[in-house]
Chain A
Amino acid sequence: MTGQMSPEHAPDGTGHQPVEMNDADGQPIGHGLPALPPDEPIKNPGLPVHTWRPTDVDPAMEKRAERQIAALFGLSAVCGVLFVVAYFNVGENETVIGLGAQTVALGSSLGGALLLIGIGIIQWARKLMADHEIVEMRHPARSSDEDREATLAQLSQGAEESGIGRRPLVRNSLLGAVTVLLAPAVVLFRDLGPTNAQVTEAGDYPGAGLEHTVWDRGVRVVRDVVGTPIRPSDLEIGDLVNAEPETIFAVDEDGEPLLEGVPLQVAKSKGAVVLTRMDPADNTPGEGREDWDVDGILCYSKICTHVGCPISLNERKTQHLLCPCHQSTFDLADSAKVIFGPAARALPQLPLMVDEEGYLVAQSDFREPVGPSYWERDSDASTTEIE
């Protein structure tokens, strides 16, 4: 509105002289644009006349409002007491209309106590506190030119006295030193974790590094949760088993688990597989994968090649496996190629065979890294490489 209404006809209805708002250089604020037409159609009528509330003019109403507000605060106090009562008396398994009574009781009483205080205060402000609108003049956000000049003068005096401009050697060596200081600050964080290459090389646990998993020749495919090995005859066509490498459940001579903590979690996060049995006639094995199944039993990585969610939503009739996170869909009957969704690569397939005891085992580790893509992943090489 600046520029369209000059301050002269901007009475604010409160009896002030309007204050001329000027920049320090005397220009009206709002210069810099082409002048706007001065023909404002309607004059500012000024602040409307103050009207009174019933509570302002009627002592009875005022008293009523007072009592009402006090009642709100009183009720709030009751809720506060109820909270304490509920805290000590409502057990965690008690229910009210099927809901957990404890949380409901504590939440409602606390909520009630707080809300009633809030509503009371607002009512107080709305009904009883003076409600005259008042006017305050604004000031420009910028400093006055004198202040700017004074500040600049002080800054240049400071620069002068320190000699920062005149002593480039001192200044530049300081800047250099501070810049170099960034290096320790960054380097300090190097030990946040080892790199993939380091993890792979150290091989502190089975299947370390992004290119490997705990799968290996002869590692049994076992049911998740219970850890029991699987014979081909256990499965019927249409069965889907959420399986793991037996290494996860393996124990040493003392009955202590072989893998614990991080190695266990890493093993699960890369080793989880789905095992599905289909009519061998339905399956189209990929090139070089003709002997990767056992009687129509196929094994694929359960870790999505998109961002790594475990996938096990399978449609039995179509053999389509869907990821619940982002709906990438893989065709298990066709090397788990992507048929829908954001994933770009097929699920890695685990070559299967049967060991001498008749249980399903892996022929080898996966032939390509499992899980989401990463920069160093050499997709062209790994998908074609057959050991």
Chain B
Amino acid sequence: MSIDTSKVADSNTTAATAKKPNRAGAAATWADDRLGLATMMKKNLRKVFPDHWSFMLGEVALWSFVVLLLSGVFLTFWYVPSMGEVHYEGSYDPLRGVEMSEAYASSLKLSFDVRGGLLMRQMHHWAAMLFIAAMMIHLLRVFFTGAHRKPRELNWVIGCLLLLLGTLEGFTGYSLPDDLLSGTGIRAADGFLKASPVVGSYMSFFLFGGEFPGDAIIPRFYTIHVLLIPGLLLALITAHMLLLVYHKHTQWPGPGRTEHNVVGYPMLPVYAAKAGGFFFIVFGVTALMGGLLSINPVWLFGPYDPSKVTAGSQPDWYMGWPDGLLRIMPGWESHIFGHTISWNVMVPILLVPPLMLTILILLPFLESWITGDKRDHHLLQRPRNAPTRTAVMVSLMTFYGLSWAAGGNDLIAITFDLSINQITYFMRVAVFLGPALAFIITKRWCISLQRKDEEVLLHGYETGIIMRSPEGGYSERHLPISEARAFTMTARDRDPDLAELQSGEDGVDANGLEPKRSPLAGIRRRLQTTMYADNIQKPTAEELEAAHHHAEHEHELQAAMEGVSADGHQFDGHHLVEEETLRGDH
């Protein structure tokens, strides 16, 4: 580890007041004598965090996790992880006397006989939904802005694992109340396990402690849900945060911001206050949702009974997309030599989701392999400036979204008066066509946005003022953008020159011999071409100079027809309007 001598933290605020020998100071001394905290803290207390709303999405996930821990601990005080059968005697009349598992009875007790228990149950469930949703939009933000590039690839991998663990944690939690819905989910999970080749029935019998449903699954899921996965989550979140602190946060390009610095607010006090305040806000929003929006009304579902089912049997949203794939998969099954291979379950559950996760984890590595870019990157990119990358993620999102929608095909059908069958047929095609289409559209869209940027840089922005020439022709007045904005727009990498990038690979080498071309190198070349060929590069200094020169000339021409002092800046906030009138004093 290099010693951090290059850090030049600037503080242009007033110096901290001189230490007084007060009680707090004494306590701090006592602690530091034993822990030596000051050395570690002096480096970090004024650590700089850049400020941008999109940097707080990960925080939503973090604080949701804290809410999950707090509400979860509350729930464990009453929840009984047992499948022992009891007759319900609690205060919810419509289930009185009904036979159910202790787990379900204790969920009812939490809902009706523990004051605030239902609130905590609902907060826990909402927080879980938000936890995973926030991780996902955080992931999207990171990828779209290129924050997954070196040196942060490992943090990306950790994030992907967190997403996986969060999903598993969510599924086990969904199963614990042992109501009809969660039991149906476990039933389906049993079907998934059994569909695994060779080991399927063994895995099912091991998990359930015998034949489905057995009496072991709830206690086992409970241990996994409250101990195993939270422990792993906690460890990975810690690693994720430590790496964040070590790498320092990425930042958007802008005046004064470079690859070598980080500009923002110090940890103490502003960032700490904002992050701490945000914790209370996340907690508060979750409490409001828990108090006002009903979620998983277990008393309506009734206890799990393997012979019963309800319409609208769906998993929570984060398991919705594999469920959707399961729904649209054709019923393919092979029977070979007395064995059954269930493609209809294996493909959507056992093959595609792990494949998607693998692709997700590999994305940063694939990208750097294709681009050959081994530099550190701390300045973020706008999604439009990496059109192919953006298009890849939008394409993946489209696949996800369509699969997800397929998982709600029955509700789409009743809400929009459609036929489930038609939706299913449509989705079978759409999950292939949609992502391809999304890729093309996104890429072209990004490139036209790049063109628009180039246009603005070269010719200025549209003022909305239409000039009429003495000849009767009309033209719109363009004015140059501010220097800061222009700099921000140009503060991006120029894509490497394709010819130069690929010259070393397939040209004739120094001895005039045709080099061996591995098929992999060919793929890489093609991917590089896809990645860069159509992108618009920022203008060079000369191009900019020429364009500005041209603009000045235009101005001079237009000046003749003005006759007013209005320069078009009145309405764009570039400078004050008080001293100027739109129409000159004639």
Contact = CB atoms under 8 A, between A and B. Distances in A.
Interface of A: 1-5, 7, 10-14, 16, 18-19, 21, 24, 29-34, 36-37, 39-48, 87, 92, 99-100, 102-108, 110-122, 124-125, 129-144, 147, 189, 192-196, 199, 208-210, 224, 242, 244, 260-262, 265-266, 268-269, 271-272, 302-303, 306-313, 324-328, 338, 340-345, 371-381
Contacts of A302: 307
Interface in B107-146: 112-113, 115-116, 118-119, 122-123
A189 B211 contact: no
Contacts of B313: 309, 324-325
A193 B216 contact: yes
Max chain B Cβ within 10 angstroms of own Cβ: one of A36, A114, A189: A114
A265 B51 CA distance: 56
A14 B10 contact: yes
Given A122-B281, A141-B151, A374-B204, A2 B197 contact: no
Nearest to A304: B191
Given A16-B10, A39-B542, A44-B258, A375 B201 contact: yes
A343 B340 CA distance: 13
Interface in B196-225: 196-202, 204-216
Interface string B481-500: 00110110011111011001
Given A133-B264, A193-B209, 13 more contacts: A24-B2, A32-B374, A41-B543, A111-B284, A138-B261, A141-B246, A192-B209, A242-B307, A262-B210, A265-B214, A309-B188, A324-B313, A376-B338
Given A110-B291, A134-B11, A375 B273 contact: no
A118 B292 contact: no
Interface string B331-350: 11101001111101100100
A100 B294 CA distance: 10
A325 B1 contact: no
A29 B490 contact: no
Contacts of B118: 100, 102-103
A139 B307 contact: no
Contacts of B344: 306, 342-344
A290 B504 CA distance: 75
Contacts of B282: 118
Given A106-B116, A208-B211, A308-B191, A344 B291 contact: no
A33 B332 contact: no
Given A121-B276, A381-B338, A1 B259 contact: yes
Contact of A33 (B119, B184, B331, B373): B373
B194 A36 contact: no
B330 A342 contact: yes
B8 A136 contact: yes
A381 B335 CA distance: 10
A384 to B, nearest CB: 11
Nearest to B407: A326
A43 B202 CA distance: 66
Contacts of B540: 37, 39, 41
Interface string B82-110: 00110000010000000000000000000
Identify the interface centre among A100, A121, A302: most chain B CB within 10 Å of its CB. Answer: A121
Query: Which of A13, A47, A377 has the most B CB atoms < 10 Å from its CB?
Result: A377
Given A136-B262, A192-B206, A302-B307, A341 B424 contact: yes
27 contacts: A7-B260, A30-B259, A33-B374, A41-B540, A43-B487, A45-B255, A47-B256, A87-B115, A87-B116, A100-B118, A104-B291, A106-B116, A107-B122, A107-B289, A110-B284, A125-B269, A125-B274, A132-B12, A133-B265, A134-B266, A136-B46, A199-B210, A262-B214, A268-B305, A324-B312, A327-B424, A342-B330
A182 B348 CA distance: 32
Summarize A's interface: helix, strand, loop or mixed.
loop
The 3 A-B residue pairs whose C-beta atoms are closest, nearest first, are A107-B291, A307-B191, A118-B280
A313 B410 CA distance: 13
Given A108-B291, A192-B206, A375 B200 contact: yes
Contacts of A41: 457, 490, 538-541, 543-544
Contacts of B184: 309, 325
A344 B12 contact: no
A18 B260 contact: yes
Contact of B284 (A92, A115, A268, A306): A115
Contacts of A36: 493-494, 496
Nearest to A19: B6
Contacts of B284: 110-118
Given A147-B2, A308-B187, A129 B273 contact: yes
A35 B341 CA distance: 54
A111 B376 contact: no
B19 interface: no
Contacts of A113: 284
A1 B201 contact: no
A140 B247 CA distance: 8
B47 interface: yes
B31 interface: no
B557 to A, nearest CB: 25
A342 B281 contact: no
A33 B4 contact: no
Interface string B272-316: 011011111111111111111000000000000111111111000
A161 B562 CA distance: 87
B7 interface: yes
B487 A3 contact: no
Contact of A378 (B206, B277, B339, B342): B339
Contacts of A18: 258, 260
A373 B491 CA distance: 58
Contacts of A43: 487
Contacts of B292: 99, 104, 107-108
Contact of B190 (A115, A192, A308): A308
Contacts of B266: 134
